[in-house]
């Protein structure tokens, strides 16, 4: 069964460092998303990507965040200068429509 | 008012019980609705979409009341494997790539 894959599964970084989280969505999907979940809290929308551009972004997705789809398969989230409050599980998701999404297993980011 | 509101629970029920979860949403322009489940420290997984006419998938029945902005999920004949957090999810807009907004989830534990 096709699945969304994410790397790394866990990254520990120092505050102020740049982090890149990588995702390989399911191959025939058209919609790509990043969500995050701080431990014990709800799943929060960060950004959606369709037709090679950002469709929508949340208030969380400020200038420190960026996304890229550099080739036909990868979808990356970059955080330029990490803060302590960026510590969370980051989920990539993809779908053929905008509601029925398939999520990756997540990348846990710990900022020290 | 929260965009998507759920009773956080926890619900503790015996095997075989019927349990119902409720959810309300604030944006009357919301277009589509879903239930996802999330196991502890795992990614959300789509359980079912929710249609205006109501829909059933095995032991699971979902209903939508647009006038009351209310969504429900009924689980019949609960199994131990149903233990999870159930997430009410709303697609806020009609545009391609519009965000899914997650509720905080209702935690269910099914006991032997």
Of A42, A48, A91, the CB nearest to B104: A42
- CB atoms A56 and B99 under 8 Å: yes
Question: CB burial class (10 A; 0-12, 13-18, 19+) of residue B45?
Answer: middle
Q: Calculate how close chain A gets to B2, using CA atoms only, in Å.
A: 12
Residue A101 gets which letter from DSSP? -
Chain A residues with CB under 8 Å of B3 CB are none
C-alpha dihedral, B73 to A107 to A51 to A46, nearest 10°: 70
**Chain B: residues touching A (Cβ < 8 Å):** 32, 34, 38, 42-46, 49, 87, 89, 91, 93, 95-105
Of A55, A101, A102, the CB nearest to B100: A101
Largest CA distance in chain B: 45
* Closest CA in chain B for residue A39: B41
Reading the block at residue B68, the tokens are: 């009351």
pLDDT at res. A26: 94
- Selected for mutation to probe chain B from A53, A101, A102, A107 (highest B CB count within 10 Å) is A101
Residues ≥6 apart with Cβ < 8 Å to A26: A2, A3, A4, A94, A102
Q: Do residues B11 and B108 lie in contact, with contact meaning Cβ atoms separated by under 8 Å?
A: yes
pLDDT at res. B96: 66
pLDDT at res. A98: 72
Residue B95 has pLDDT above 70, yes or no: no
Least confident of A65-69, A72-76, B43-47, B103-107: A72-76
Chain A residues with CB under 8 Å of B44 CB are 43, 91, 103
Confidence band, pLDDT 50/70/90 cuts, at residue B71: very high
| Nearest in space to B31 (alpha carbons), one of B86, B103, B105, B100 | B100
Of B38, B99, B105, the CB nearest to A48: B99
Rounded Cα gap, residues B105 and B89, in angstroms:
9
Residue A68 has pLDDT above 80, yes or no: yes
Residue predicted with more confidence, B44 or A72: B44
Q: Do residues A92 and A103 lie in contact, with contact meaning Cβ atoms separated by under 8 Å?
A: yes
Residue B85 has pLDDT above 80, yes or no: yes
Rounded Cα gap, residues A59 and B41, in angstroms:
25
- CB atoms B103 and A42 under 8 Å: yes
Where helices occur in B1-112 by DSSP H, the ranges are none
Any B CB within 8 A of A31 CB: yes
């Amino acid at each position: 069964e096709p699945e969304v894959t994410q790397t790394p599964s866990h990254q520990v970084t120092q505050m102020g460092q740049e982090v890149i989280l990588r995702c390989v969505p399911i191959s025939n999907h058209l919609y790509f998303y990043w969500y995050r979940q701080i431990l014990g809290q709800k799943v929060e929308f960060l950004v959606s990507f369709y037709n090679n551009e950002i469709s929508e972004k949340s208030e969380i997705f400020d200038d420190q965040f960026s996304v890229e789809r550099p080739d036909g398969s990868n979808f990356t989230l970059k955080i330029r200068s990490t803060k302590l409050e960026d510590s969370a599980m980051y989920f990539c998701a993809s779908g053929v429509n905008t509601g029925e999404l398939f999520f990756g297993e997540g990348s846990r980011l710990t900022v020290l | 008012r929260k965009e998507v509101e759920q009773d956080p629970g926890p619900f503790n029920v015996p095997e075989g019980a019927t349990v119902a979860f409720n959810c309300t949403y604030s944006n009357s322009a919301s277009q589509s609705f879903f239930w996802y489940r999330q196991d502890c420290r795992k990614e959300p997984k789509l359980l079912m979409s929710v249609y205006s006419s109501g829909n059933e998938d095995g032991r699971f029945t979902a209903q939508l009341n647009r006038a009351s902005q209310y969504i429900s999920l009924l689980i019949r004949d609960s199994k131990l494997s149903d233990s999870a957090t159930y997430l009410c999810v709303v697609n806020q807009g009609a545009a391609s790539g519009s965000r899914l907004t997650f509720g905080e989830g209702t935690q269910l534990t099914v006991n032997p």
